[in-house]
Amino acid sequence: MNNKEQSARLVHKHVHMFRCPLCKESMQVVELKSLICVNKHTFDFARQGYINMLTRTVKSQYDKTLFEARQQTIVESDLFRQVHKEIANVVEEYIKDINKHMYILDAGCGEGSHLQRILDECNHKTMTGIGLDLSKEGILQAAKNYKESIWFVGDLAATPLAEKSCDMILNILSPANYEEFKRILVTGGLVVKVVPRTNYLKELREVRFKETEKKTYQNDDAVSLFNNQFDLVKQMTLSYTKVLNRLELENLVHMSPLAWNLQEEDRETFVKQEDQEITVDLDILIGKI
């Protein structure tokens, strides 16, 4: 079975999760090739095993290099290990109380490694991961690397998912749309949002912003917006450092939008360091509807 057929079978098994992004009606997998709604709106599975369910063309600034660097940093450098462990604990705690198959959506999943790592950490047969991102490059990489989850290109503000279909929504360092999240979450479902704190990747920020500009980032607005929308079950702060070697620093520079406007000489100075301690400083917000 090729990637496309394998992915079509997986979606077929969980097809009740989907609704047509155009007419909102239910969908079916046809001939292991397409996802088609009752009004015949058709979305084809790509060869690599993902589905593009966007109804408009989008130009993303996130490209192949960025997602490859993100994957290296998440998987090889394991920079976010503690984040994955904490989120896996939240999943374990939640799954204790439910007796059905569980669906975890990663909204703005990028190249999918966070979702995969969290699922690996939990290792339950009774849960399925679904990853959604606006960037085709990210989803393409996710589908190539991680075949046990469902991957689709889509807009998190207008997902092709049915009402009350997801048990948990992960939203890691990505934009959010809380109205949409509330529509697709089951009653009692959880949103797990990861937002940067002031010192997140501060070493990179220091090169980027020098003395003249703002070096820090405040997440107060993101946190209070979240608190206005959900009952805050828990808020965790994770602050730690990890030493990265030269190759890992190179990946770090390429994975972060922070480095998009970095001067070439600053980029070089940064990656030329043999070893450098890098700070991860994040809030994990867990909300319930």
Ligand X SMILES: C[S@@+](CC[C@H](N)C(=O)[O-])C[C@H]1O[C@@H](n2cnc3c(N)ncnc32)[C@H](O)[C@@H]1O
Binding residue positions for S-adenosyl-L-methionine: 80, 111-112, 200
- Residue ranges at the known binding site: 20, 23, 37, 41, 80, 111-112, 200
Do 152 and 11 touch, CB atoms closer than 8 A? no
Residue number with CB closer to ligand X (179 or 274)? 179
11, 20, 29, 95: which one contacts Zn ion (CB under 5 A)?
Answer: 20
Instruction: State the nearest-atom distance from the C-beta of 211 to ligand X, in Å.
Output: 26
Residue number with CB closer to Zn ion (19 or 208)? 19
SS3 content of the chain, % helix, strand, coil (to 5): 40, 30, 35
Instruction: State the nearest-atom distance from the C-beta of 137 to ligand X, in Å.
Output: 9
- For residue 23, the partner it binds in Zn ion, ligand X, none, with Cβ less than 5 to 8 A by kind, is Zn ion
Of all residues in the shown chain, the one whose CB is closest to ligand X is 110
Question: What is the bridge-based pairing of β-strands 275-288 and 231-245?
Answer: antiparallel
Residues 35-74 that bind Zn ion (CB under 5 A): 37, 39, 41
Q: What residue ranges bind ligand X (CB under 6 A)?
A: 60, 62, 70, 108-110, 114, 132-135, 138, 155-157, 172-175, 257
Residue number with CB closer to ligand X (188 or 257)? 257
Instruction: State the nearest-atom distance from the C-beta of 20 to Zn ion, in Å.
Output: 3
Cα distance between residue 285 and residue 233, in whole Å: 8
- For residue 108, the partner it binds in Zn ion, ligand X, none, with Cβ less than 5 to 8 A by kind, is ligand X
Give the type of residue at 57. Answer: T
Q: How far is CA 268 from CA 45, 61, 207, 254, 256, in A?
A: 41, 22, 11, 12, 15
Number of residues that bind Zn ion (CB under 5 A): 6
Instruction: State the nearest-atom distance from the C-beta of 35 to Zn ion, in Å.
Output: 10
Name the H helices within the chain: 3-13, 64-71, 81-95, 113-122, 136-145, 178-184, 202-209, 220-229, 246-255, 264-272
Residue number with CB closer to ligand X (77 or 135)? 135
Do 286 and 233 touch, CB atoms closer than 8 A? yes
Q: How far is CA 250 from CA 60, 73, 277, in A?
A: 22, 10, 13
Applying CB under 5 A, which residues contact Zn ion? Answer: 20, 22-23, 37, 39, 41
